[in-house]
Amino acid sequence: MAHVTTSKEKIIARVRRIAGQVAAIERSVAADADCAATLHLVAAVRGAVAGLMDELVEDHLHAHVAAPGLSDEERTAAAAELAKLLRRHFR
């Protein structure tokens, strides 16, 4: 994702926080923690991943669909790829 260079460090930090949250789920399951507590951890990860997805989709949209100077072919291909990704995401 070459186009996210302006916020690459921020995105990497976000991914690392998500990895930490997933590790907390693993520890919770391994420790036979309370079901509700584990479910809250999973819900938090789901929200964090959804937020990351939102940010990356927005970056992709600005860089590959709405950017000035793109050819009609580039814009059409990027829009089709984004539509395919969103169909998969919302299943």
pTM metric for this prediction = 0.83
Q: Which helix (H) or strand (E) holds 67?
A: none
Cα–Cα distance for residue pair 39/59, rounded to 1 Å: 30
pLDDT of the residue at 3:
62
Q: What residues in the chain have per-residue pLDDT under 50?
A: none
The percent of the chain in helix, strand and coil, each rounded to the nearest 5, is 85, 0, 15
**Tokens matching residue 10:** 């921020």
Structural domains of the chain, with CATH: 7-89 (1.20.58.1000)
pLDDT of the residue at 4:
59
